[in-house]
Amino acid sequence: MKAASISELQKELRSFEPKQILEICLRLAKYKKDNKELLSYLLFEAHDEKAYIKKIKEQMDIDFSGINRNTSYLTKKSLRKILRGVNKFIRYSGSKQTEVELRIYFCTKVKAVRIPIDSSIVLSNLYNREKEKIKKNLEKLHEDFQYDYQHELERL
């Protein structure tokens, strides 16, 4: 079965009544955890982005406290797991400012936990990729935010 394009879905949804759209949304949320999380974000957290960011940072703190540091391989797996979650939450938000702030916080936590980035090429590549993503998205922000976040990036 081929999926319809966004514009086709949009046209079709316009023909439905609100009650039918509600049923469709609930059915989507019922079968996929990501859909349920996205719907929860849109309904309960999208109006207060600062609280959303704070909640994600608290979750990252918990995740960083549980990093397995026995080998660089296990450290890498733990960091990638944290990063997968962060990327998912960034996708939900869709805000470049949220993305920059969360990626900077991730890099700051990597430094704060004293993960030996230089001991492994994979870890250093992971860290450097995050810094590059920050730089890339920093250019898309307003000048005031660029200035603030640029100082944080330089500290990394």
pLDDT tens-digit readout, 129-149: 999 999 898 888 877 777 777
Residue 92 falls within a domain, yes or no? yes
Output the pLDDT for position 86.
Answer: 95
Output the pLDDT for position 60.
Answer: 95
Structure tokens belonging to residue 22: 């509600």
Contact (CB, 8 A) for 100 and 137: yes
Total domains in the fold of the chain: 1
Residue 62 falls within a domain, yes or no? yes
Q: Where does the pLDDT of residue 49 fall: very low under 50, low under 70, confident under 90, or very high at 90 and above?
A: very high
Q: Computed over its alpha carbons, how large is the radius of gyration of the chain?
A: 19
Residue 114 falls within a domain, yes or no? yes
Output the pLDDT for position 114.
Answer: 87
Residue 59 falls within a domain, yes or no? yes
Look at 81 and 120; give whichever has higher pLDDT. Answer: 81
Output the pLDDT for position 48.
Answer: 92
Find the domain containing 113 and state its range. 48-155
Q: Where does the pLDDT of residue 125 fall: very low under 50, low under 70, confident under 90, or very high at 90 and above?
A: very high
Taking Cα atoms as reference points, which of 44, 54, 61, 156 lies closest to residue 98? 54
Average pLDDT estimate for 97-120: 90
Does pLDDT of 100 surpass 80? yes
Structure tokens belonging to residue 36: 């349920």
Contact residues for 27 (Cβ-Cβ < 8 A; gap 6+): none
Residue 115 falls within a domain, yes or no? yes
Residue 24 falls within a domain, yes or no? no
Q: Where does the pLDDT of residue 92 fall: very low under 50, low under 70, confident under 90, or very high at 90 and above?
A: very high
What are phi and psi for residue 110, nearest 5 degrees?
-60, -45
CA dist 137 and 149 (Å) reads: 11
Q: Where does the pLDDT of residue 117 fall: very low under 50, low under 70, confident under 90, or very high at 90 and above?
A: confident
Residue 139 falls within a domain, yes or no? yes
Contact (CB, 8 A) for 61 and 43: no
Residue 26 falls within a domain, yes or no? no
